[in-house]
Amino acid sequence: MKVRLKFDTPEQSKSREVKNLIEGSKLKTVCEEASCPNLGHCWSLGTATFLVMGEVCTRRCGFCDISTARPFALDPTEPDRLANTIQEMQLKHAVITSVDRDDLKDCGSYHFARCITATREKNPNTSIEVLIPDFKGKTENLERIWDARPDIINHNVETVPSLFATICPQSNYQVSLDVLRESAEKGFLTKSGIILGLGETVEEVKQVLRDLRENQTHLVTIGQYMQPTREHAPLVEYAPVSRFQELKDYAYELGFLYVESGPLVRSSYHAGDALEAILKQHGRSPVSG
């Protein structure tokens, strides 16, 4: 009988270490909750995108694998647990996102801001990227995020305007553009993302890219939609790799500072690399002065 010895690769060991840290802190990640195809790759690099304000969303978007229901109350210990975990992971770049909390008067903006502030206080050398909901487009909600001073503010448009009614029925394309523009006007690096394969045309995607640049968005991600279950929006097509390259080239022609475009690209894919590349190119954030 042959005996086979099984050894973990360094990547598997690091991924397990990250998983244990996250489970021990009782935090959630969008990597798991949204069934991200890059989970193993990112965790092996010691990175993760933390999901705050619960794992249940008040909105039902056709592409998203996060559960929709009535959420639980916010956990006041979450900001400190998040900050401590990021410190334990020794992250150079932390990404924080959340579910939509339309059930709360402030849409959870105060709690989200506390997560940023706690992380900053505990990890002064860690850059912070936030992927925020639209907070119903209310300025007072956005101001709480602005006052917490993250390094990058990301808000995804997700799809083209013609598909919003079926894919993102509780969201508004113009509100999303306003969130990005107003954040940029406050001096933040801004970022957005779109997924292909839901029935959009190439010209519609190019129009979205033009809209994003006209609203002062600096970074963009373009990825492939992968249908989580039969109950989700149907997959219309797998976009050819050449289309991702075409759109990447077009985005750079429009003046985006950084573009990630490919089938497996997601919002926080190589997020730290993007900020590092921009800082290296410009010597500082090109918009914050």
CATH number at residue 250: 3.20.20.70
On average, the pLDDT of the chain sits at 86
Give the chain's domain count: 1
Task: Give the model's pLDDT for residue 155.
Answer: 98
Residue 287 lies in a domain: no
Task: Give the model's pLDDT for residue 108.
Answer: 97
Residue 2 lies in a domain: no
The residues near 1 (Cβ < 8 Å, ≥ 6 apart) are none
Q: What digits encode the pLDDT tens for the residues 172-213?
A: 999 999 999 999 999 999 999 999 999 999 999 999 999 999
Residue 66 lies in a domain: yes
Residue 3 lies in a domain: no
Three-class secondary structure of residue 263 per DSSP: coil
The answer to whether the beta carbons of residues 226 and 37 sit under 8 Å apart is: yes
Q: The domain containing residue 215 runs over which residues?
A: 10-282
Angle between the 139-148 and 109-122 helix axes, to the nearest 10 degrees?
0
Q: What pTM was estimated for this model as a whole? A: 0.87
Q: In the structure encoding, which two tokens stand for residue 3, read together? A: 């005996």
Mean pLDDT for each consecutive 10-residue tract of the chain (289 residues)?
Answer: 45 57 66 52 64 89 80 94 91 91 96 98 95 97 98 97 93 97 97 97 99 98 93 94 99 97 88 83 60
Q: In the structure encoding, which two tokens stand for residue 172, read together? A: 């508004």
Tokens 């005996």 belong to which residue?
A: 3
Residue 56 lies in a domain: yes
Residue 145 lies in a domain: yes
Angle between the 78-89 and 10-25 helix axes, to the nearest 10 degrees?
160
